[in-house]
Structure formats: structure tokens, C-alpha cells
Amino acid sequence: MTAIANDEPGLEIETVVNGAPVRARVAVRQSLVDWLRDDLGLTGSHVGCEHGVCGACTVVVDGVCVRGCLMLAVQADGASIETIEGASASGRLAALQEAFYTRAALQCGFCTPGMLLTAAELLAGDDKPDRETIREALSGNYCRCTGYQAIIDAVEAASTSEKR
Amino acid sequence: MKPAPFAYAAPRSLDEALALLAEHGDEAQIIAGGQSLVPMLALRMATPGILVDINRIAGLPGLLEDDAALTVGPCVRHAELLRHAGRHRHWSLIAAAVREVAHPGIRNRGTLCGSIALADPAAEAPAYALALDAEIVLSSLSGERRVPARKFFRGVYETARAPDEMITAVTFPRPAPGWRFGFQEIARRHGDYAIAGLCAGLRLEAGRITEVELVYFGIADRPMRAPQAERSLLGEPNADAVKEAAAAAGAELEVEGTGESSAALKRQLMRVLTERVLTKLIVGAPGQ
């Protein structure tokens, strides 16, 4: 018989977050991003629209970018999660971060973690994406400050940077 | 923007999942990718009693291709399907359509079977499933049945699936030699649901068009074929027939406006899509 769980007492999950094992009890309706932010204090992932539109909550689960608001924390049981904190500390975003800084591809910074992680996934699979491809890849990440041009410039510049 | 409370179960076997569906009926909601469901939960447009998470079930089919067909299991993500389809010429329609499904982060998690089960009339998956004559495999405690796509979609979010059934695969028969496909949709922004879209296929044999499939989506309560437009294209490929088909499609189907897009606008877009997609498809065809 399958066990049926509720918010109270929730479910026990075992995950790896930014390389460190984390064991926790979560309410079944808590989103992954709320758990990362509220319970683990990893506030680099941002909560914008809370229904999958804006991309600010992007986190990496088992190697691929997903919406942190569209995955339940219970679904991350057994998964390896990387947030912007872990990705940034690892140095794998350095070329993108420098390009974003140099080209002023951010203003308030709310969308930036999601932009960086999504752009990094693009560049991992495509060495020299053209601007149209970059636009398409970032089409699910909203920015309300920059008008996007500087972001496209930055990703393009990072793709040719020697630091990659 | 938090979901209403629900119970949650992550069965380890298909039988356990099907038992939960049988027990909870309409109160149960399957979750795989959750890319449409979780927004509906957050907006409290959906308030299921229990979520049945099928991601932990051992032994479900994944993505399998043989000479006869492509089988797509219930937890195959759009991204995986896109990678596979992109490597095979005969799945060019799937590749072109899946590229337009939302955004990379959504495609990494959302599933084809979930899109089929949801049956959003403006979504790509039901349309290309219909155009490619796919079969939907439904499993319940009382057994398995296969429903062709043309009988599966019944209306807005309405399908032939019973509450105690789960889609355990969608199968696409490999197109016969001579088929070529085109796809285009018009949306306000890349990744948005289409205002109108078209999956087109035609079969060329000895320089003549012998079979045609035109499936329009976003224009009615489900994806629709346009038989009269299809018939007008049979024979020698030529530009006049394309114009005729473009005019016929908007006229023969019952087109419904949605939101800001009127039925008249959608008819116009159907004409535009038909001309664009078919012109591209018949360029280079013998006789042209």
C-alpha cells in the first residue's frame, strides 16, 4: 500500500544541495524554491510570479535548469540541487558574471540568478549561439530593467570569452 | 499564491498508482512534470484531494524507437523528446513543434504525456499527435486500451481518459516514405501559447501529392483537421492549390475567438499559416 502524506507532519526528504547532503522534513505542498529560501536560507533564487512565467526562481536539479516554483520540495527527494550560490561559488559562471558586469546586463538584479543559470545551460550545449538562439533560450526569463539587449550582448560576449 | 492543501503519494509501482486512481477517482490528480498543473494549483484553479506523483514508478516505458514506431513513456520530458526527434528526419514535425513548447526550463521538466492528458487546445502536443496519427495508451486496474488521437481529444481540457486511467505511453507510427512535414505557430511572444498554429504533412509519390494532413490548433476547442483544404492540395503541387487550401481552411472550420484574439483574426492567421507552411513544403517538390 502506498503511503499517503499530508502537510502535517509532511515527508522526510534527502537531497544534496550545492554539494552538501541535506535531510529535512517538508510540507507536501511547499515548492522547492520556498524550501530553499525559507528553510535553508538560500535566498539567491528569487520568487517572482510563483506560477512558472518569470524564471527568477530557476535552480539546477540533477543537472538541468528547472523552475523552482513549479517543482514541489518533496519531488526533490534523492535529487542533487544547485542554486545560484553553489554555481557562483564553483566558478562555472565567472565568464558570464564578468560579461554581465562589464555590459551592465543587470540593474535591480532580481532576474540575474535565473538569467545566469539559464545562459550557462545554453553555453554548455552550444559554443557559439547566435543572438536569435540566445533570445530563444532566455525567452522564459523576464527582466523588467534592462530591455534585454545588454543581456544578449553579455551572453554573446561570454560565449567567446577566454575565461570559459 | 500557495496551493490549497492536498495529500501526496509517490507510488513505486504502476499497480499502486492505478489503485490510488481507482480509489480516489476525480479527487486524484496525476503529477509528472507538473508544468501546467503546479501553476493551476498555485492559482487555486485546481484543488485536487490527492496528488499521485508518478516519477518514482519503476519500469515505466521511456523513449523507445523501432522501425515501426516511436513510443514515449509518461515521464519523458519535452527536452528529451526534442533531442531524439532532432536527430531523425522522419520526426521533423515533432522537433519543430517541441521547439515552440514554452521555454528550456519548462521543457526540461514538462512531459509529452502530461500535455496530451491536459489537452489544452492551444498546445502543440495534441496537434502533432493528431497530425502523426498517434495512439494514446491508457492503463487502469481493469487493463489497457489504446485510443487514436482523433478520438482522444474531446474539447477544452476534455479527453477520452477516465479518472481511473493513466496515460502510460503515446506511440507515433513512423511516417511512410514520401511524407514531409511543416510547422508554424503565431504567438505574442516566443514560448507563449499559440494564437493559431498549423501542423502540415503531405505525401509525395512520383511527383504528385497523394495524402495531406492539415491540423490547426489554438482555433477551436481541440486541434482540428481541415478535410476540404486537404483535398484541394491533392495532385500536382502548385501555388494555386495552396491558395485554395488557405482559403478553404478558415471557411470550413468552426473557429472560436479567445481572449483578445477574435475568430476573424484566427481565420486570417490560418490563411497566412497555410500559405507560408505549404509554400515552403512544396518548394523543391517535383513539378515545381
Residue B198: alpha-carbon gap to chain centroid: 11
Do A43 and A65 lie in one domain? The reply is yes
Q: Which residue has the higher pLDDT, A163 or B175?
A: B175
Give the domain extent around A80: 11-87
- Residue A46 resides in a domain: yes
Do A73 and A51 lie in one domain? The reply is yes
Under an 8 A CB cutoff, do A2 and B20 touch?
yes
Do A35 and A61 lie in one domain? The reply is yes
- Residue A6 resides in a domain: no
Do A153 and A99 lie in one domain? The reply is yes
Do A83 and A96 lie in one domain? The reply is no
Per cent of chain A over pLDDT 90 is 96
Q: What is the mean pLDDT of residues B122-149?
A: 98
Contact between B259 and B208 under an 8 Å Cβ cutoff? The reply is: no
Residue A132: alpha-carbon gap to chain centroid: 22
Do A61 and A114 lie in one domain? The reply is no
Nearest CB partner across the interface for B108, out of A6, A11, A64 = A64
The predicted structure's pLDDT at residue B80: 98
CA distance A26 to A6: 10
Q: Last residue of some domain: A54, A87, A120? A: A87
CA distance B121 to B118: 9
Do A42 and A104 lie in one domain? The reply is no
Q: What is the mean pLDDT of residues B180-204?
A: 95
Is residue B284's pLDDT more than 70?
Answer: no
Q: What is the mean pLDDT of residues A7-31?
A: 97
Do A119 and A52 lie in one domain? The reply is no
Contact between B196 and B186 under an 8 Å Cβ cutoff? The reply is: yes
| Per-residue confidence band for A39, with pLDDT thresholds at 50, 70 and 90 | very high
- Closest residue on chain B to A28 (Cα): B8
Measure Cα distances from B81 to A151, B3, B6, B78, B93 in Å: 29, 30, 31, 5, 12
From B116, B122, B119, select the one nearest B137 (Cα to Cα).
Answer: B116
The predicted structure's pLDDT at residue B288: 47
Q: Is A136 on the interface with B (CB under 8 A)?
A: yes
From B135, B144, B233, B228, select the one nearest B180 (Cα to Cα).
Answer: B233
Is residue B253's pLDDT more than 50?
Answer: yes
The predicted structure's pLDDT at residue B259: 86
- Residue A2 resides in a domain: no
Q: Is A33 on the interface with B (CB under 8 A)?
A: no
Cell of B136: 494514446
| Per-residue confidence band for A53, with pLDDT thresholds at 50, 70 and 90 | very high
The predicted structure's pLDDT at residue B286: 57
Task: Residue B43: list chain A partners with CB under 8 A.
Answer: 51
Q: Last residue of some domain: A87, A116, A135? A: A87
Do A65 and A108 lie in one domain? The reply is no
Q: Last residue of some domain: A87, A107, A135? A: A87
User: Could you report the per-residue pLDDT of B78-93, keeping only the tens digit for each?
Assistant: 999 999 999 999 999 9
Q: Is A50 on the interface with B (CB under 8 A)?
A: yes
Is residue A164's pLDDT more than 70?
Answer: no
CATH number of the domain at A118, please.
1.10.150.120
Per cent of chain B over pLDDT 70 is 98
DSSP code, position B3: P
- Residue A127 resides in a domain: yes
Is residue A30's pLDDT more than 50?
Answer: yes
Q: What is the mean pLDDT of residues B224-246?
A: 96
User: Could you report the per-residue pLDDT of B258-280, keeping only the tens digit for each?
Assistant: 988 999 999 999 999 999 999 99
Q: Is A121 on the interface with B (CB under 8 A)?
A: yes
Is residue B50's pLDDT more than 90?
Answer: yes
DSSP B28-44: EEEESS-TTHHHHHHTT
- Closest residue on chain A to B38 (Cα): A70
CA distance B198 to B220: 13
Predicted ipTM? 0.96
Is residue B287's pLDDT more than 60?
Answer: no
CATH number of the domain at A36, please.
3.10.20.30
Interface test with A, best of B83, B103, B107 (most A CBs within 10 A): B103
Q: Is A69 on the interface with B (CB under 8 A)?
A: yes
Q: Is B43 on the interface with A (CB under 8 A)?
A: yes
The set of residues, in sequence order, having a beta carbon less than 8 Å from that of B66 and lying 6+ positions away, is: none
- The count of other CB atoms within 10 Å of the CB of residue B45 is 10
Do A16 and A77 lie in one domain? The reply is yes
| Per-residue confidence band for A98, with pLDDT thresholds at 50, 70 and 90 | very high
Minimal CA separation from B212 to chain A, in Å: 31
- Residue A3 resides in a domain: no
DSSP A116-162: HHHHHHHHHH-SS--HHHHHHHTTTS--SSS-SHHHHHHHHHHHH-T
Task: Residue A66: list chain B partners with CB under 8 A.
Answer: 105, 108-109
Task: Give the B window 172-191 contacts with A, CB below 8 Å.
Answer: 189-191
Backbone angles phi, psi at A159, to 5 degrees: -65, -25
- Residue A114 resides in a domain: yes
Interface test with B, best of A75, A121, A122 (most B CBs within 10 A): A75
Q: Is A12 on the interface with B (CB under 8 A)?
A: no
Q: What is the mean pLDDT of residues B244-262?
A: 93
From B82, B86, B70, select the one nearest B135 (Cα to Cα).
Answer: B70
What is the enclosing helix (H) or strand (E) of B204?
strand B196-205
From A158, A163, A110, select the one nearest A134 (Cα to Cα).
Answer: A158
- Residue A4 resides in a domain: no
- Tally of domains in chain A: 2
- Closest residue on chain B to A63 (Cα): B108
Region for residue A66 given its phi and psi (left: phi exceeds 0; alpha: psi -120 to 50; beta: otherwise) = beta
Do A79 and A18 lie in one domain? The reply is yes
Interface test with B, best of A70, A71, A131, A132 (most B CBs within 10 A): A70
User: Could you report the per-residue pLDDT of A113-143, keeping only the tens digit for each?
Assistant: 999 999 999 999 998 999 999 999 999 999 9
- The count of other CB atoms within 10 Å of the CB of residue A85 is 18
CB half-sphere exposure, A116, CA atoms < 13 A: 29
Which domains can be identified in chain B, with CATH numbers?
7-52 (3.30.43.10), 63-173 (3.30.465.10), 179-282 (3.30.390.50)
Q: Is B104 on the interface with A (CB under 8 A)?
A: yes
Do A69 and A26 lie in one domain? The reply is yes
